[in-house]
Amino acid sequence: MSALASQVIALLQERIRRMGFTPAVHFELEGCYVPGAAPTDLDFEAINRELARFGIAGRLVREYWRHQWEYVSDFAGQTPLQEARNLAFVMAHLPRIMARQGVAEVLIRPVVWSGDQGKLAPGSKTLFAGEVRAVHIPNAIQLNVSVTDAEGENLVAEGAFGEYLQQCFLRTSLPCSLLFLPEEEAFERLRLKTLYGLDDELCSPVDISGGHQGSVALYRELGKHNQRMGEETLLYAHDHSALLTTQNWRKTARVEHRLGASSLRYDPFVNIIFALLNIVDALDAHVAGCCIPSSPAPRALPASLEDRGGVHGAISLFERDEWFASSIDRVAAEWNQHNNTAALAVDDGIGHQLKEQVLKCYRKDIMTTP
């Protein structure tokens, strides 16, 4: 599927470039690991040197829970297609890289059950109480999206465009949830807080909401923790504290799509396409002068992959949706009508071909399930 998806990404990149804009899409991936027989602290610097040796624009850092890590993409000017390839490489090769440090298993899963122990003290986000209990760790895949114009200005910093792009994601996330919630355990992740009383410890989303800190968040002057965005230190004191800082939030403004679940079934290429299609929709409205943000109400995500009790699951929602495939086919038809270059040749129906490939994986699962 990645070969067909790579064609679509190249097509969408070129469509956006010819409009005079440059898209930036970056991943953040959370996961856990199982220590080996002789557990030692991970040498993250060594892991990152190995990633750099393969040309991966990203790094591994410690995450909140014990034995949890996060892969964070670098903002190094890579194209969306390069970004998809980078994440696909990390997901495939990180077990081998971490095994060199004695790691027994790398877990790229929506939930690591009983992955840690502890309970936060009332009213605290950092201090733990004396009570010990199992904590089920949710792991996410996040998309960070921005767009620059020909002068290098970040359009997401502009109120109308940033809000409109956010609302494009709010509108399309429900019918396309199969792309970023690709296995049944992804839906268990969404219910962790309510089922296990982990509201203080966990940040798993339960619906599709917007705003400044929603599951599809728009960050400009302030970030997720209400910190100042784009803050840079200009002058340090002798103890390395900041004496003088500047804030260039316009450079770092972005839309964060925080609904995705870590999973080996998560396809970086298809999800990059999902992001680029929303960018194309927002740019078309921007160029036409009709970026008029609305205020959609939060909507619940599907409860499962399959239909339950007459309620559509993620598979049938995607199967019934026309936006994903038809948007790709519209761009392909426009391209084939106005371009005669063999360097980027695509079929008119490539969008529906790709959609069928996505669904084929799940139809095969259904057929083989006893």
Residue 341 confidence (pLDDT) above 70? no
256-291 pLDDT per residue, tens: 999 999 999 999 999 999 999 999 999 999 999 888
| pLDDT digits 0-9 by tens, 181-222 | 999 999 999 888 888 776 666 677 778 998 877 899 998 854
* Residue-range domains of the chain with CATH: 2-368 (3.30.590.10)
Half-sphere exposure of 326 (CA within 13 A, CB side): 8
- Which amino acid appears at position 6 of this protein? S
pLDDT at 186: 96
d(CA 315, CA 313): 6
Q: Inform me whether the pLDDT recorded for 157 exceeds 80.
A: yes
Q: What dihedral do alpha carbons 306, 365, 262, 218 form, nearest 10°?
A: -50
Query: Which residues make beta-bridge pairs with 148?
Result: 22, 154
Report pLDDT digits (tens) over 212-254: 778 999 988 544 544 545 445 445 555 555 544 444 545 778 9
Q: Give residue 133's pLDDT.
A: 66
CB 111 within 8 A of CB 138: yes
Computed over every residue of the chain, the mean pLDDT equals: 85
Give DSSP secondary structure letters for 222-271. Answer: B-TTSPBTTEEEEEE-TTS-EEEEEE-HHHH-EEEEEEEE--TT--HHHH
Residue 279: other Cβ atoms inside 10 A: 25
Identity of the residue numbered 256? E
